[in-house]
Structure 1
Amino acid sequence: MSHQHPELSAPAPLAPGGLRVTPLGGLGEIGRNMTVFEYDGRLLVVDCGVLFPEDHHPGVDLILPDFEPIRDRLDAIEALVLTHGHEDHIGATPYLLRERGDIPLVGSQLTLALLGSKLREHRLKETVHHVVKEGDRISFGPFDLEFVAVNHSIPDALAVAIRTGAGMVLHTGDFKMDQLPLDGRITDLRAFARLGEEGVDLFLTDSTNAEVPGFTTAEKDISPVLDRVFAKSDQRIIVACFASHVHRVQQILDAAVAHGRKVGYVGRSMVRNMAIAQDLGYLTVPPGVMVEAKELADLPPHKQVLISTGSQGEPLSALSRIAQRNHHFVHIEEGDTVVLASSLIPGNENAVYRVINGLSRWGANVVHKGNALVHVSGHASAGELLYCYNIVRPRNVLPVHGEIRHMRANADLAREAGVENVVLGEDGVVVDLVDGVAAIAGKVEVGYVFVDGSTVGDVSESSLKDRRILGEEGFISVILVVDTVQGKVVSGPEIHARGFAEDESTFEEIRQPIIDAIAEAVREGVDDSHQLQQTVRRVVGRWVNRTHRRRPMIIPIVIEA
């Protein structure tokens, strides 16, 4: 939800010849990236990702962008462009395709392959898709798209230039400017400069690392660190990283070969994604190095490397199960080395440290970003962003992809580089580009859409609040039978509690006050069971708060005799 522009009203109709940009996710959080472009009554969607839940989202599996603002205009969508294959950019696509199954999908070879396996998992038919690569130009309705190579922590990432009658937009997607990337595919600054010469009217730039000074460390700088970790370890090595980080997996495979070790994958998404990357030639697996993870246990510990999911401490991931000693075939032994080769996504810190502590308890040596260079970011730091502003020289800038602080820092960089018009928006804030000037035109209502098991959108903020109360404060149920004519409690009150005070005697002192309050309420003419339940809730609530300083959920049940 937007907090920065609470006073904004619904946007007026788009001016003729103008371009409207509506971010439905990704502005104000790291995840669920989705931006809708509107021109001449037609829509183009860029990215459609998920956000992973935090501790204050109990029972939630995924968080989606809110499709409500475009739900009645799905038939106007010309295409969905996917900049790269990370979950926070493609993960919500199956949910959008459930609403309109024939939206054309546009993306690079690896991105669409990763998405394809996801669609099959959701039992969705493959929709029309257009495989594109850097340098390609393709039109959908009034949108003329050109794709530019960008370097990121997954191969085959693309920026997209969108030309319309209102001007040109350049959307970087997620990117950094590693000058010596492992796959030799650098961010194409020559294309950025060429587009800048033509005239970029609106530049949407990745804000994730805008607060970090200088330039992001090169991916290749990790290799010697991994080499030292492998050289020092005389037992099993477990490396946890994102299931899509092909370059990191490549470095681990290379280190394993150099030190005479065999490798097995642990975690369904890791097995699936690396098979796709290998089939398409993005991952080079040296012959003889891979074995089934279960067979790895037959080798001596100094010959084993496991590559696992779960670097963010996700409770159901392979690494979390290993740390809790309940993985079905991987058991941590004293002296094992565990490498967490990934970033800490904001909000996941506690979960990650819980896993680190769990692994350390069993005697593992845990190597992570805090004590060794085992991860570099996939996002451009402040120096790289300034470089881009100076090359592109955009007329208007809209920082995207990041929390509020990241986008503010990015806006400051753009202004320092001489960009006169910088627009700071959040999810739902509508930005119109009219006559070369971008300005906020209003706001559409967007919220978080929670996926809970197989249900989408049924979990509301209030039910999450109830779950949090149940988890943190427990609940008390009070059952009593009342004769509303006599004003007497005929049976009860029976009081039960969970997660509060299990000892029934705790409630002895509140039984009589409940009986007295019911009698008084009936004397005053209250004979409705709902109002009597409210009376019980008030009495118990006040007592619990006064004597225990707690606010459990109170469930009164009054049965009329």
Structure 2
Amino acid sequence: MSHPHPELGPPPPLPQGGLRIVALGGLGEIGRNMAVFEYGGRLLIVDCGVLFPDLEQPGVDLILPDFDYVMDRLDDIEAVVLTHAHEDHIGAVPYLLRERRDIPLVGSRLTLALIEAKLTEHRIQPVKHQVVEGERHRFGPFDCEFLAVNHSIPDALAVAIRTPAGIVLHTGDFRMDQLPSDGRLTDLGGFARLGAEGVDLLMSDSTNAEVPGFVTSEKEIGPVIDEVIRTSAKRVIVASFASHIHRVQQVMDAAHRHGRKVAFIGRSMVRNMGVAMDLGYLHVPPGLVVDSREIEEWPPEDVVLICTGSQGEPMSALSRMADRDHPIRIAEGDTVLLASSLVPGNETAVNRVINGLTRWGARVVHKGNAMVHVSGHAAAGELLYVLNLTKPSNFMPVHGEWRHLRAHAKLAALTGVPEDHIVIAEDGVVVDLVDGRARIVGAVQAGYVYVDGLSVGEVTDVSLKDRRILGEEGFISVVVVVDSSTGKVAAPLEIHARGSGIDQAQFEEIIPQVEKALEDNAADGVVDAQQIRRVVRRTVGRWVNESFRRRPMIIPVVVEV
């Protein structure tokens, strides 16, 4: 991707005693969270996540941050601090560790366990540094204090980074649930203490900055899940994020109360819940969980399946069930519970799955018709609360699309942060904290890096455009045999099409036009194969556009004899 801010030049050298912050992802988007902090020539990274592709990126598996900014300085990285174990915060760690395997990973017990399980698949043994809320640890010039925050996964942390340039508080993803399932509250006392000490820069989660009030407590979801399982006549299939241990615990508790067995479906769900059970974050009564391969032996009314696919992911277990492409066959009377929020951009995919499940007779319960999910991100009332507690000198909204960042900036202004001390940045923008003031000073490359199968970074925006054209308009190939010395056509033209919507017989109309264009070309003495291809592409493309109002990919093949 091109330079993100052509109006901003490369940043100047960092002034002595200053702290530099560069977000390589997570600003202007939901996902790919990665922030690089620099002080005294050393680097600290907070989070290293992925973004999941949309329909405009066909064939892409994952989107990574652009590591170019740190590639020449890998030895300067003191550590990677991971605030929690969601994919948009840890998913790119294996790709960074490919470049330097001994970068220490800093995080809570669960976060490190889940990233280690992921890294095992990449054959990487990480260097781990486990921390607990309330602790302070130094990584080079960065003195990091960790604070508990409540989120939709256990063991999430905020981090206060102290350097001689000042204190930066990075909240990570958080909410202020006063009745969390695990009893672990966001450390508002710690936030207030930092505010009294003096927060020079607050970087705070902006996802729900447009949502008024406070987020509903997780406790209110339990009775709804219990009612769904109690009243379901046959199987219950619950689709959730593979990291949402709190939600899975609620489902398992309800299943146990109503005498049902539970099975996990999907590789990531099995892996993550196995880790959570081993570490004691998921409490499972003896005999409750059975192997998914045995589930068909149990009566439907005695079964709860927990699987992935709540966002309509094409290869997920739930999508395959909806398409009748999974060993678990949806039957009349089954209940499917989508226990998650709808990530923006996934609406079409999720609706497709809901319709597919309904077609086979399932009752589908989702956030649109029942209270089966609450957000893991603080709403505007909570964000105001944190702004008032921390009283930051400077504010930089993070983790959100542009509308979320701007809404959060307005909240900061309402609490008294001066307008010129509020920095709205996006990926690649360089922010320096110098003499107690945060300012934008330049920009660096921070484009998308696409993972497609085993290739990383080889797919470009140009090749994605070609894929979109092929998917939407098809292609037409034209095989031309020409005399290499004269450029004249030496054999009949062949035209083939796939996915263009044009009948083969209709190409008889264009063949004489192509031959005439090539004859004129040869008469002008043109024998270069590249120019011949250009003539064929232009002639066929114009005809298709005028005749059918379509723009398929034209692929001329010139054979010289």
**Superposition TM-score, scaled by structure 2 size:** 0.98
Superposition pairs of residues 43-122 of structure 1, within 5 angstroms? 43-122=43-122
- After TM superposition, the structure 1 = structure 2 runs for residues 250-399 of structure 1, keeping only pairs within 5 Å, are 250-327=249-326, 329-399=327-397
Determine the structure 2 residue equivalent to 1:208.
207
Query: 1:396-452, CA deviations, whole angstroms, 9 ceiling, x for partnerless residues?
Result: 011000111111111111111111111000000000000000000110011100000
Report the counterpart of residue 553 of structure 1 in structure 2: 553
Match of 2:400 in 1: 402
User: What's the CA shift string for 1:16-68, capped at 9, x where partnerless?
Assistant: 10000000001011111000000000000000001111111111110000000
Q: Tell me whether 1:440 sits opposite 2:440 in the alignment.
A: yes
* Count of aligned positions: 559
Aligned to 2:512: 512
Quote the Cα distance in structure 1 between the aligned partners of 2:363 and 2:127.
48
Moved more, 358-367 or 496-505: 496-505
Question: Which deviations, in whole Å up to 9, do the C-alpha atoms of 1:59-107 show, x marking residues without a partner?
Answer: 1110000000111011100010000011110110010000011101100
Where 2:500 maps in the other structure, the secondary structure is coil
User: TM-score, normalised to structure 1's length?
Assistant: 0.98
Report the RMSD for the aligned CA atoms in angstroms: 1.2
1:466 is aligned to 466
Query: Is 1:238–2:237 an aligned residue pair?
Result: yes
Cα shift readout 1:267-302 (whole Å, capped 9, x = no counterpart)? 011111011111111110112211111212111111
Inter-partner Cα distance in structure 1 for 2:262 and 2:487: 74
User: Which residue of 1 is the match for residue 534 of structure 2?
Assistant: 534
Name structure 1 gaps, 5 residues minimum.
none
Structure 2 residue runs of 5 or longer lacking an equivalent are: none
C-alpha distance in structure 2 between counterparts of 1:63 and 1:336, whole Å: 35
2:228 aligns with: 229
The 2-side partners of 1:2 and 1:483 are apart by 42
Residue 485 to residue 76, structure 1, CA distance change in 2 (3 Å) = closer
Instruction: Give distance in 1, aligned partners of 2:174 and 2:127.
Output: 27
Q: Could you tell which deviates more after superposition, 169-178 or 413-422?
A: 413-422
Deviation by residue 1:460-497 (Cα, 9 ceiling, x = unmatched) = 00001110100001000000112255553221210001
> What's 1:424 paired with?
424
What is the one-letter code of the residue matched to 1:374? V
Counterpart of 2:175?
A: 176
Task: State the alpha-carbon separation in 2 of the partners of residues 429 and 135 from structure 1.
Answer: 31
Matching of residues 85-164 of structure 1 within 5 Å:
85-124=85-124, 126-164=125-163
Q: Partner letter of residue 121 of structure 2?
A: E
- Determine if contact 1:23/1:428 at 8 Å carries over to the other structure: yes
| Counterparts of 1:116 and 1:206, CA distance in 2 | 25
The alpha carbon displacement at 1:4 in A equals: 8.4
Hey, what's the Cα distance between the residues in 2 that align with 1:36 and 1:147? 17
Equivalent pair of 1:2/1:428 in contact (CA under 8 Å): no
1:450 maps to a residue whose letter is Y
SS at match of 1:447: coil
Contact 1:264 1:290 in 2 (8 A): yes
Amino acid at match of 1:345: V
1:555 is paired with a residue whose SS is strand
Counterpart contact for 1:210–1:385, Cα < 8 Å: yes
Offset at 1:501?
Answer: 3.5
Find the residue that maps to 1:431 and give its secondary structure.
strand
Q: Is the 8 A contact 2:474 2:498 kept in 1?
A: yes
What is the rounded CA distance, in whole Å, between the counterparts of 1:486 and 1:467 in structure 2? 35
Partner AA of 1:11 in structure 2? P
CA separation in 1, counterparts of 2:119 and 2:506? 53
Helix, strand or coil: the match of 2:28? coil
How many Å apart are 1:231 and its aligned residue? 2.2
Deviation at 1:525, TM superposition (A): 2.0
Distance 2:461 2:486 in 1: 41
Residue identity matched to 1:375: H
Quick check: 2:4–2:445 contact (8 Å CA) kept in 1?
Answer: no
Taking every aligned residue pair, what percent have the same amino acid on both sides?
A: 68
Q: Which amino acid aligns with 1:60?
A: V
For 2:200 and 2:502, the matched residues in 1 are separated by 65
Distance 1:250 1:446 in 2: 38
Q: For 1:78 and 1:359, how far apart are their aligned partners in 2? A: 49
For residue 297 of structure 1, give the secondary structure of its aligned residue in structure 2: helix
Query: How far apart, CA to CA, are the structure 1 residues paired with 2:454 and 2:341?
Result: 29
Query: Following superposition, which runs of at least 4 residues in structure 1 exceed 4 angstroms of deviation?
Result: 1-6, 484-487
Q: Secondary structure at the match of 1:88?
A: helix
